[in-house]
Chains A and B, each alone.
Chain A
């Protein structure tokens, strides 16, 4: 036969634990404490993802038969509000920490070797869709502009007011392209015409559409969603 005893030490330790947990837990209800704490964890998660990222590891690729049809439209506004960019006058500015700032036309970008990929776009909401994109590698465009490859960030500004940014290692990844074609045809307005970023090693919201300017910088650029609390690195 047995019975239990609780020692004074056990009781004190237990009550201390309950008190500490309740004390720390209640801080989560105070926005001025919660927000910086969660920001801190998000920065920690950026670091962890940067460590996990492998420059050589390619995102899985798929066959034509696996392409999701119809491909879902997605933006922070309805499709009707997507900007109508004139492909003839459109220029891609490449500036910041580059030795040869450029204003590239669609014709210039078409001259570069295109990389075609069938990859899965994964939205931060959880859904995913397989699509086919083609265009020059971002690394080739950065190279041509004489970009400082040791800089930390690449920032994207878009014709719809959107902006985002990625780390240099992901920018130089072999599958990171400036997509001009989607499903074997020039990008349509809904999908970011005339040029969008297609980066299968990042979540969907990093795949900026209607890009007008690419800047290489060491100053943390944030982004439209990132500034509202989405994790910045957003790697896959």
Chain B
């Protein structure tokens, strides 16, 4: 039996939870900001919003944006530079995804601690890209003159508002699936909170 490193390093866990808090803070305050000048015929219920009205919501939004930015940059840096960000995200193959999809439908998908299946990999990569896009569209909205090249790339200020909204929808969808999976595999919560190690038993 050999002790290995924690599945998620202390820094990876810190970044994960900072990102989780920032994401929920940004979504809930963002809903209050959306309500102030809705461009779709929906109103987010006030109990689900942060900051009360526009003034407070903006103050929270512009606090959590820094936490979010730092956590996303930290997660990317940890993966690219230190390679300690968690289980591998690549390779992702179409065959692997099909195999995992069949296994899911047959209710025998392996959910191994310490390794991501191809569907998990794809979801995490897409979500990470969505995080980057949320930062980019957020920059276009916060500074549409200073960062006008980003706004232009999205089709202008008004389109950047829509992009920011759609990215919020995508990330909200990820949060729902992610939390549902944690409910199905509760030990994963322990791993992310307490940094479980894999103790490997060698079999001949």
Contact = CB atoms under 8 A, between A and B. Distances in A.
Do A and B form a real pair? yes
A128 B146 contact: no
B159 to A, nearest CB: 11
Nearest to B36: A125
A2 B37 contact: no
Contact of A126 (B7, B36, B203): B36
Contacts of B203: 1
A117 B49 CA distance: 38
Interface string A40-65: 01100100010011100111100000
Contacts of B144: 60, 120, 122, 236
Main secondary structure of the interface of A (DSSP, over half): mixed
Interface in B140-158: 143-146, 148, 152, 156-158
B44 interface: no
Contacts of A42: 59, 62
Contact of B197 (A7, A13, A53, A58): A7
B155 to A, nearest CB: 12
Main secondary structure of the interface of B (DSSP, over half): helix
Contact of A2 (B17, B34, B193, B200): B200
Interface of A: 1-7, 10-11, 13-15, 17-18, 21, 25, 38, 41-42, 45, 49, 52-54, 57-60, 120, 122-128, 200-201, 228-231, 235-236
Interface of B: 3, 6-7, 10, 13-14, 17, 21, 33-34, 36-37, 39, 54-56, 58-60, 62-63, 66, 112-114, 143-146, 148, 152, 156-158, 161, 187, 190-191, 193-201, 203
